[in-house]
Structure 1
């Protein structure tokens, strides 16, 4: 099973991807980790060919869960996916999750791939707004060619119902 999960910051894509990967016992990849070489001092952007190769290596596996918000270079993953999950969670809910995540990361209850600074925290609200206004329409248009395998989930109930279907096989 190859599942590609897309959504804005705070949509729950990483949480869902981890659950699905654990249930299916398949590898889980975050597109951010294709883009960035993680470093304790500061993340360094990978070269485009490195980023693309990391994606290709993941997509070449028999089974996987890939999640992220990137769109301009991820077509190989979308094409290879058996299912594309678009977490179209309402903005207000995503903003609440951003706040909750930041608090949990500051108190070291939740792990982060990045250093959770107040600057990044504030940027997440901007990214969320940008996603809603700029990226979401592009995703929706792109999904037209993958329509047969796209699941647009808006409520937490829809997410849970989809997850139950995956668990039942």
Structure 2
């Protein structure tokens, strides 16, 4: 993937299955900058089980990332604690793939994880699988409108991408 005039501070937001991590990995490799998953800002990952960070720990960790010279941050979160990331980003990419596409990707991901063909930060249980559909619906109904209501002030640096072709046109 080639990129046209991309910055070194990019925030990618979208629902579960929208392609955030895939895009973040590709852009990070192309731009040679680190990428971070917001879920890993929320959670301390341990083999024995994940531990949620306190609000203070989460804020300090995110501030460290945001204040670095170059980064790609991706995640579904758009709560107030993430606002500095949106504020400091040179570019915000909102992945607005269709609900059906995201649902298909959730199913595909689960199967690949259960077969051991794809890794994840969590154990792919049926409980998590069904929660992903719930989170997908919640993002559609609440997360998306909430993002544009809270962060519409950044529309001059926000790119809304609805499909793969559009993504390729923008970044090729």
Taking structure 1 as the reference length, the TM-score comes to 0.94
Corresponding residue of 2:67: 60
1:92 aligns with 2:100: yes
Please, what is the CA RMSD of the aligned residues? 0.9
- Which has the larger displacement, 107-116 or 3-12? 107-116
Counterpart Cα distance in 2 of 1:98 and 1:88: 15
Corresponding residue of 2:125: 117
Q: CA deviation at 1:134?
A: 1.1
Counterpart Cα distance in 2 of 1:53 and 1:158: 35
Unaligned runs of 5+ in 1: 165-169
**Contact 1:143/1:150 (<8 A) preserved:** no
Counterpart Cα distance in 2 of 1:162 and 1:104: 29
Unaligned runs of 5+ in 2: 1-7
Corresponding residue of 1:167: none
Corresponding residue of 1:40: 47
**Contact 1:14/1:67 (<8 A) preserved:** yes
Corresponding residue of 1:82: 90
Q: How many residues align?
A: 164
**Contact 1:21/1:65 (<8 A) preserved:** yes
CA deviation vs aligned residue, 1:86-119 (integer Å, no higher than 9, x gap): 0000100000000010111111111101111111
**Contact 1:89/1:154 (<8 A) preserved:** yes
Corresponding residue of 1:149: 157
Counterpart Cα distance in 2 of 1:144 and 1:70: 15
Counterpart Cα distance in 1 of 2:11 and 2:101: 22
Taking structure 2 as the reference length, the TM-score comes to 0.93
One of 106, 111, 116 as aligned partner of 1:103: 111
**Contact 1:20/1:163 (<8 A) preserved:** no
CA deviation vs aligned residue, 1:116-153 (integer Å, no higher than 9, x gap): 11110110000000110111110111231101000000
One of 17, 22, 25 as aligned partner of 1:18: 25
